């Protein structure tokens, strides 16, 4: 699920009408950011002994460089990177983060890694806490941001799936304005699952499913500042 706007007519739109771009924070268009893939020298940061979960965290910027589920679906892999959107300030991403320290707590009751970063572009300090739950095939990321002055900002994640994860699969999206129904799009007809004005994808939940191998991948924002996230947003108007 990479961060681009579709050039074709919006899938699932109303009567095939032309997509209208709505306002975004700071009235600036989204910055296209794709998380770089792991290289041959990258070693797993965490590996479950039973082969259920394998994770690589980038040592330079601290983003989620690779997530794999070797036993469940070996060819599938995903990576994710955060964008920092700042009102009246410079937006940036994890590619602007400079890792200052990494603490490995792999042998803890809840295996986790703490990554501290400095982002000079947006003038923020970022702490990323990755918790690993192989029994549920989950990676839980907590982002803590500190700044010398108050800022109004938000964090958006960009996910990139391997072609093996997408091929022959479907995007599943929950839409409240369709009487709380799920809608389905074949991955073959959608190159980039991103809409600037939230017109077609209006939910905090999107999954990619390969029904032929019973495999589903999803990335969900659970809470912000301790407040649970509502999993869908209202339609325009």
Could you write out the three-class secondary structure of 47-104?
ECCCCCCEEEECCCCCCEEEEEEHHHHEEEEEEEEEEEEECCCCCEEHHHEEEEEEEE
- What per-residue confidence (pLDDT) applies to 20? 58
Residue ranges of domains in the chain: 25-228
For the chain, the 3-state helix, strand and coil shares in percent, each to the nearest 5, are: 10, 40, 50
Condensed to tens digits (0 to 9), the pLDDT of residues 49-102 reads 999 999 999 999 999 999 999 999 999 999 999 999 988 888 899 999 999 999
Task: Decide if pLDDT at 193 tops 50.
Answer: yes
CA pair distance 192, 27, nearest whole angstrom? 22
Condensed to tens digits (0 to 9), the pLDDT of residues 199-224 reads 445 556 678 999 998 899 988 888 88
Task: Decide if pLDDT at 4 tops 80.
Answer: no
Could you write out the three-class secondary structure of 139-173?
EEEEEEEECCCCCCEEEEEEEEECHHHHCCCEEEE
- What per-residue confidence (pLDDT) applies to 1? 35
Say which residue, 81 or 197, is predicted with more confidence.
81
Condensed to tens digits (0 to 9), the pLDDT of residues 6-61 reads 233 334 444 455 555 554 444 445 567 889 999 999 999 999 999 999 999 999 99
Task: Decide if pLDDT at 132 tops 80.
Answer: yes
- What per-residue confidence (pLDDT) applies to 196? 44
- What per-residue confidence (pLDDT) applies to 156? 86
């Amino acid at each position: 699920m990479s961060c681009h706007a579709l050039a074709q007519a919006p899938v699932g739109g109303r009567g095939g009408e032309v997509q209208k771009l709505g306002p975004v924070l700071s009235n600036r268009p989204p910055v296209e950011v794709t998380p770089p893939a792991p290289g041959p020298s990258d070693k797993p940061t965490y590996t479950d002994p039973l082969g259920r979960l394998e994770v690589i965290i980038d040592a330079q910027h601290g983003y989620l460089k690779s997530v794999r589920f070797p036993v469940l679906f070996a060819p599938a892999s995903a990576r994710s990177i955060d964008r920092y959107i700042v009102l009246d300030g410079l937006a940036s991403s994890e590619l602007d983060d400079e890792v200052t320290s990494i603490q490995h707590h792999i042998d803890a009751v809840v295996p986790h890694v703490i990554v501290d970063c400095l982002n000079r572009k947006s003038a923020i300090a970022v702490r990323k806490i990755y918790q690993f739950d192989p029994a549920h095939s989950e990676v839980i990321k907590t982002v803590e941001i500190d700044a010398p002055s108050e800022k109004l900002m938000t964090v958006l994640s960009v996910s990139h799936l391997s072609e093996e994860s997408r091929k022959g699969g479907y995007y599943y999206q929950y839409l409240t304005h369709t009487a709380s129904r799920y809608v389905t799009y074949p991955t073959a007809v959608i190159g980039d699952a991103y809409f600037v004005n939230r017109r077609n994808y209006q939910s905090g939940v999107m999954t990619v499913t390969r029904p032929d191998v019973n495999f589903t991948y999803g990335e969900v924002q659970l809470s912000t500042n301790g407040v649970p996230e509502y999993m869908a947003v209202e339609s325009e108007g």
